[in-house]
Copies of this chain bind each other. A is one copy, B any other.
Amino acid sequence: MVTGTDSSLTFTKLTSSPETRARAGLLNTKHGPVPTPCFMPVGTQGTVKAVGPDDLTEVGARMILANTYHLLIRPGPETVHNLGGLHKFMGWEGPILTDSGGFQIFSLNSLRKLSQEGVTFRSHLDGSEIVLTPEKAVAVQEVLGPDIMMALDECTPYPASRAQTAASAELTLKWANRCLKAQSPENSPAMFGIVQGGMYPDLRRESALSLGELDFPGLALGGLAVGEEPELRMEMIETAVEVLDPEKPLYLMGLGTPADLVEGIARGADLFDCVMPTRNARNGQLFTRTGRLVIKNARFKDDDRPVEEGCGCYTCQRFSRGYLRHLFVSKELLAFRLNSIHNLYYYFSLVAEAREALLEGRFKKFYSDFNSLHEGDALLS
């Protein structure tokens, strides 16, 4: 059990796997319980692209992510507040996590200026100058009103020199302290800190140790899935997890492929987010247990089978590969929704199966079954 400004956020480990660090848990939030491990779909602009809240509930979403950077620029936190706060705004009654905006500023803005105080950048919409400080990141997220918010960090690029990485991790630690101080004494969402440290094991470890000492009810690993090899990514996760409090929930930011999720769960992560299921869906790439289908391929033209036999999603229950191919090549809007429904269902089912395996004490078998099915894909895709 952990506490933060929002004392309603609690995390309970229900079980753990004897051979790995994997664990099933329950994260309680103001908007209901979240069984972990949990994959959060990304609602960048206040909507998970191409699907509605009804679809999200139907496919098994429990907690979703929204991007502070995008909502800050449009429609602005005041408008979200005027429209009833983030949950009412999006029509999503379950828990929501907002990121701090840091990742987008570093990945989308080439004209940013970084100082110890904060970061200055230009809106990608109208070029107007915006300053984001740790204090402002907290204030904006408090106005948006998620269940969990994130401290502002500097996402270390890859590759980065040792000196650059060390300086970046140091700044992230300073900002984490400032974020905690900036939290309103009342009605502030629970805040997670973000571990950086790049791809240097000792810097990762140091960042995890120092962030872990602060009064965050949960922690995240940032600066991963930024171009590094999967083996290196997993090494960094292991390095950080070794020194983090196992009683606190752990969020792997921006991960990832199905294999990333399974490997991350095996290493003790509880929360994940990634645009992959929805972005790939919009590009016509559909996940199955045995590989990804590129739905526009001519071989699917007269294929009356569902995307995946036995899949319980609305798309597979009602539509054929041939129809989905037709929608996609015809650029029909329904293609984006149906493909997204399938891919999200795939992700949620995978994580739900991992959880069930953990609760039933057979995670090791689940893990080896997954890896034998995804041979050559497990750490590489």
Given contacts A75-B301, A89-B320, contact A332 B82 (CB under 8 A): no
**A50, A314, A325, A332 interface centre (most CB from chain B within 10 Å):** A332
A337 contacts partner chain B, Cβ-Cβ < 8 Å: yes
CB-defined contacts of A323 to chain B, threshold 8 Å:
46, 83, 89-91
* C-alpha gap A332/B88 in the complex (Å): 18
Interface pair B318/A53, CB less than 8 Å apart? yes
Interface pair A47/B327, CB less than 8 Å apart? yes
Interface pair A74/B326, CB less than 8 Å apart? yes
Interface pair B334/A50, CB less than 8 Å apart? yes
Interface pair B52/A301, CB less than 8 Å apart? no
Residue of B nearest to A81 (CB): B302
Residue of B nearest to A278 (CB): B333
CB-defined contacts of A334 to chain B, threshold 8 Å:
47, 49-52
Count of chain A residues with a beta carbon within 8 Å of a chain B beta carbon: 40
Given contacts A91-B319, A314-B54, A327-B47, contact A302 B333 (CB under 8 A): no
A84 contacts partner chain B, Cβ-Cβ < 8 Å: yes
Which parts of A32-51 form the interface with B (CB within 8 Å)?
45-47, 49-51
Interface pair B322/A82, CB less than 8 Å apart? yes
A336 contacts partner chain B, Cβ-Cβ < 8 Å: yes
Mask: chain A, 326-367; 1 = CB below 8 Å from B; 0 = not: 110110111011100000000000000000000000000000
A8 contacts partner chain B, Cβ-Cβ < 8 Å: no
